[in-house]
Amino acid sequence: MDMNELLSVVFRWLHIVAGILWIGLLYWFNFVNATFAGTMDGDTKKKVVPELMPRSLYFFRWAAMYTYVTGILLLGMVFYMGGLMFEQGVTWGTGAYVMLVVTFLAYGLYDALAKNLGKDIRVFAIVGFVLIGVIVYLMADWAQFSFRAYNIHMGALFGGIMAANVWSRIWPAQKKIITAIKGGSAPDAAEVALAGQRSRHNTYLSAPLVWMMINSHTTVAASEWIGLPAWTNILIVVALAWGVVALMYKKAAKVKGF
């Protein structure tokens, strides 16, 4: 039995199961619970929130952790050890190493931008979109990652931002919010805004992330799109996915209970 193949299968299985749990809860928080929470009075919140949210956030944050860790393990096994990082004849160079650092340290830049531009979602989205374009272009042209490699590394970049948001922003803020509500006081508005902002950002990142994961397993989109370089397919999908998520938010606000 090939141990690497066995581990690859196990990691893929854990990655997918954990990812379903994580993104499923993310969508439940944003498209179901957020609207429902607005219908509760103070007494109801004091009863429901301390019971419901810690349980939900337990599975939410640990699913995020397992999804990200198993994803990184798979990235190492399939791409770094499996020889899929570059096309034939291309090897590791300065560009490749730099973009690898960008992939795993992008959260610092994202976090700074979110703090300074996050209040205006349109400006933040435009700046983010431009940066995504610059990064994927550099991965494809400067680092010379293969088509599959720059897709999965953009996915790792998105997933890293999302996981870091869960553990460093959403969960710490939610602990303070839950504690305040349980004690019968109003939670800090800044903590509520922070948790909501980062949760929405994760929701917008999640839809194109799924495309990047799927696209890393095929080269069907590796040719030019309507005369554009193959790497631009990521930008096209990001724009479409963000539009779909925005429509889902609008729909969620209109769905009524009985």
pLDDT, position 257: 86
Whole-number Å distance between alpha carbons of 205 and 222: 22
| CA-wise closest residue to 65 among 23, 18, 110, 30 | 18
**How many domains would you assign to the chain?**
1
Asked if residue 170 has pLDDT above 70, the reply is yes
Residue 101, classified by CB atoms within 10 Å of its CB into exposed (0-12), middle (13-18) or buried (19+), is exposed
Radius of gyration of the chain (CA): 20
Q: Which among 35-39, 117-121, 189-193, 226-230 has the top mean pLDDT?
A: 189-193
pLDDT per position as a tens digit, 5-27? 888 899 999 999 999 999 999 99
Structure tokens at 190: 């800044």
The whole domain housing 179 covers: 3-254
Q: What is the pLDDT of residue 19?
A: 97
Task: State how far the Cα of 139 lies from the Cα of 181, in Å rounded to an integer.
Answer: 46
Considering only CA atoms, which of 252, 257, 254, 214 is closest in space to residue 233? 214
DSSP string of 118-137?
TTSHHHHHHHHHHHHHHHHH
Residue 1 has pLDDT above 70, yes or no: no
